[in-house]
Amino acid sequence: MRRARAWALAALLALVSGAAAAPAVEPAPRAYGGRPTVEQLTALGRAMFDDPGLSANGKMSCASCHDPAAAFAPDARTPSPFSDGDPAHAGTRAIPSLRYAQFAGRFAEHTIDDEETHGVDGGPTGGFMWDGRADTAREQALIPLFDEREMANADAASLARRLAAAPYAAEFRRAFSAPGRDVLADPQQAVRWMALAFEVFEQAPEFAPFDSRYDRWLAGRATLTPAQLRGLALFRDPERGNCDTCHPSRRSSSGRAPLFTDAGFIAVAVPRRADLPPLAASAAVAPVASRARGAEADLGLCRSGRAGLTDDPSFCGRFRTPTLRNVALRASFFHNGAVHSLRDAVAFYATRDTDPGRWYPRNADGSVHAYDDLPADLAAFVDREVPFEPLPGGRPRLDDRDIDDIVAFLQTLTDADVDTGIAASAGR
């Protein structure tokens, strides 16, 4: 009954939009009253994602940084933060995987979620990018397309010209042109459709397979080793790892698979990248974080351009909690990519404040320059909860074996298609 009605409606809309009168060689362009279908948006999004022809130098596509064969994270040959040897292209932030990114939600300054926070304000959450500065994937896609260090299109008109030369230009026109018009003659409109196509493509099934060993274990279809189970228990224990408070590992009450991020913003104070010069004294007045270069500070949320948050020090140094799904595939960790092994990323939580000399450089007088990637006046806003808070007596919350077991557990979060033996070595 419902299907018959939908068919009748589609036929009616096709008549109204004149599609039914189109010549037979030209297939009816739009199924639902002048709107492109999800299939068209996805197919065009996928084609554009892989197309270096959309960049100014003809060499860079979205896939150059977000490789579809590597869970949409950089492949083994691509440095993260991005670098191709040309300082004009050098990135300042680690390249995230785009898997599960679609669930970030819009940015909110206050988050009150009965299930997670029990009615207490959980603080800022959501948005795309490490600093949450884009509210939707649509908005996000415009950033790399026009960023001078990335795909470097000068304006919508030059991007529309590149689109017109693409092998899928005819399909783009068919999907997005209003009757009797050429969408590519209206660059603003073309770029809007393009951004929507990226957003819809980024919701295709390959962006959220939920089929890691851990997912299969949750569904009762796989086992975990004793080390992985112990790692999971430490991950959840509020007095030990306490990882679960920000990287939730349980299904929601409605049965939704865990995302391993609550999308909250926290100042973790990761060390400064070793290849950058020390922070300039003027770091606190650096421009918007995305433009941070050289000796400037990347202050995250308080420089994301959000009204009311700008330069409020309590929002500075905060970055959005990433998902830990597929984290074992990464070669650099945290927003600035300063940490280069998963074990170190976990060990950092245990010993940041008990053994800061392991993570931070020394001042001229030999003292440790803790939190060296943040201006000194922001140290007060750095997170010091468990697991950072040492045990009474100053010992770390996690010892070496605990760290190994948490790493073993994190290796169960790799999606099946990209899980090349990581789980095998851990007893698949």
> Which residues are at the interface with ligand HEC (CB under 6 A)?
60, 62, 64-66, 82, 91, 93-96, 98, 101, 104, 128-131, 137, 140-141, 144-145, 150-151, 198, 202, 241-243, 245-247, 266, 268, 270, 290, 319, 321-322, 324, 327, 330, 333-335, 345-346, 349, 383, 385, 387, 406
Which residue, 162 or 173, has its beta carbon nearer to ligand HEC? Answer: 162
Q: Are 334 and 94 in contact (CB under 8 A)?
A: yes
Q: Least distance in Å: CB of 425 to ligand HEC?
A: 19
Alpha-carbon gap, residue 13 to 34, rounded angstroms: 8
Alpha-carbon gap, residue 408 to 400, rounded angstroms: 12
**265-266 and 319-320: which strand pairing?**
antiparallel
Q: Least distance in Å: CB of 405 to ligand HEC?
A: 11
Q: Least distance in Å: CB of 335 to ligand HEC?
A: 3
Structure tokens at 375: 């201006």
Which residue, 100 or 177, has its beta carbon nearer to ligand HEC? Answer: 100
Which residue, 128 or 213, has its beta carbon nearer to ligand HEC? Answer: 128
Tally of CB atoms within 10 A around 276:
16
**CA-based nearest residue to 122, from 301, 303, 263, 252:** 263
Which residue, 324 or 423, has its beta carbon nearer to ligand HEC? Answer: 324
φ, ψ for residue 120 (rounded to 5)? Answer: -90, 150
Q: Least distance in Å: CB of 76 to ligand HEC?
A: 15
Which residue, 101 or 284, has its beta carbon nearer to ligand HEC? Answer: 101
Q: List b or e across 312-340, with b for residues whose CB sees 16 or more CB atoms inside 10 angstroms.
A: eeebbbbbbbbbbbbbbbbbbbbbbbbbe
Q: Least distance in Å: CB of 410 to ligand HEC?
A: 7
Instruction: Specify the DSSP class assigned to residue 320.
Output: E
Q: Are 224 and 218 in contact (CB under 8 A)?
A: no
Which residue, 22 or 288, has its beta carbon nearer to ligand HEC? Answer: 288
Q: List b or e across 365-401, with b for residues whose CB sees 16 or more CB atoms inside 10 angstroms.
A: eeeebbbbbbbeebeebbeeebbbebeeeeebbbeee
Q: Least distance in Å: CB of 401 to ligand HEC?
A: 14
Alpha-carbon gap, residue 304 to 292, rounded angstroms: 12
Q: Least distance in Å: CB of 262 to ligand HEC?
A: 8
Which residue, 51 or 215, has its beta carbon nearer to ligand HEC? Answer: 51
With a CB cutoff of 8 Å and minimum separation 6, the contacts of 393 are: none
Element (DSSP H or E) covering residue 265: strand 265-266
Q: Are 397 and 390 in contact (CB under 8 A)?
A: yes
Which residue, 14 or 49, has its beta carbon nearer to ligand HEC? Answer: 49
H-helix segments, 23-101: 38-49, 62-65
Which residue, 40 or 290, has its beta carbon nearer to ligand HEC? Answer: 290
Q: Least distance in Å: CB of 45 to ligand HEC?
A: 8
Q: Least distance in Å: CB of 289 to ligand HEC?
A: 7
